[in-house]
Amino acid sequence: MIWAKREFQFAEYGPYQDRFEKLHFKLGGPGEMMMVMAEKNARLSDVIISLPDAALLSMFDGFEIIDESELPKGVSILCVNHATGDFEKRFKIPSGRR
């Protein structure tokens, strides 16, 4: 599994979220595959994805590989399979969000 991150202004990540959700569904919703967002300020957010294979990263231009140790603790969910518990092992939902 790899982790990758890209900075977006406002909610310009929509097309990437659609692409990620389609891929997630096609692969059967693996728990380790997720897409989350960490707000930097009112205008900028980091979108972080995990993929089971580095070859899939070519579908997400502009995303750069990061180490798991660089993951923020508080994120907003964009696409996650909660049934496996992988999300809860790594992240906390910021207060006031669900």
Chain segment 4-21, per-residue pLDDT in tens: 999 999 889 999 999 999
Residue 20: Cβ-neighbour burial (10 angstroms; 0-12, 13-18, 19+): buried
State pLDDT tens for residues 36-94.
Answer: 999 988 899 999 999 999 999 999 999 999 999 999 988 989 998 877 778 877 876 65
Say whether pLDDT at 35 is over 60: yes
Please tell me the predicted confidence (pLDDT) of residue 97. Answer: 47
pLDDT confidence band for 98 (50 / 70 / 90): very low
41: DSSP letter: S
Q: Across the beta sheet with 64-66, what order do the strands follow?
A: 64-66, 2-9, 44-51, 35-39, 76-79
- pTM for the complete prediction? 0.87
DSSP 56: G
